[in-house]
A = this chain, B = another copy of it.
């Protein structure tokens, strides 16, 4: 038996350029916060863009699903939680939660799904060796 999820937490402050005419973060900018979350996760666990790229792997996003709970205002201090979820298929699945730092109010939950492309940009139907090894190193159950 191994663990089934791994998580990272990073923080950010909402920039003036990220809010819209209503004074709240424009909905499309959440993709940036989620990218900040994935990159922070990647640095912590060795699953960053270059870690994969050096293995000849690209991991494009094939689905992104965001639920917006509360508006976020300019200047607010936010916490981005990025939770990697184990799955048997050749996919990388992350869940996200963005919270206000001060009172933990929940701004957003989301999920992204990524697939593996090899260096010919063909879809990998099985989990690449690198990814299986990465799971083992991190104590994750191989499904």
Are A31 and B32 in touch, CB under 8 angstroms?
no
Are A66 and B63 in touch, CB under 8 angstroms?
yes
The listed residue with most B CB atoms (<10 A of its CB), out of A21, A63, A65, is A21
Subset of 15 A-B contacts with CB under 8 Å: A13-B39, A15-B32, A16-B20, A16-B21, A16-B39, A17-B28, A17-B32, A19-B20, A27-B61, A60-B68, A63-B68, A64-B66, A64-B68, A65-B65, A65-B66
Are B64 and A36 in touch, CB under 8 angstroms?
no
- Least Cβ–Cβ distance between A66 and chain B, in angstroms: 5
Residues of B within 8 A of A39 (CB): 13, 15-16
Residues of B within 8 A of A58 (CB): 22
Dominant SS at the A interface?
Answer: mixed
Residues of B within 8 A of A48 (CB): 75
**How many A residues touch the partner, as a band?**
35 or more
Residues of B within 8 A of A63 (CB): 65-68
Residues of B within 8 A of A23 (CB): 21
The residue of chain B having its C-beta at the shortest distance from the C-beta of A43 within the complex is B13
What is A's interface to B at a CB cutoff of 8 Å? 13, 15-17, 19-24, 26-29, 31-32, 35-36, 39, 48-50, 58, 60-68, 71, 74-75
Q: Which residue of B17, B29, B49 contacts A74 across the interface (Cβ within 8 Å)?
A: B49
Are A15 and B28 in touch, CB under 8 angstroms?
no
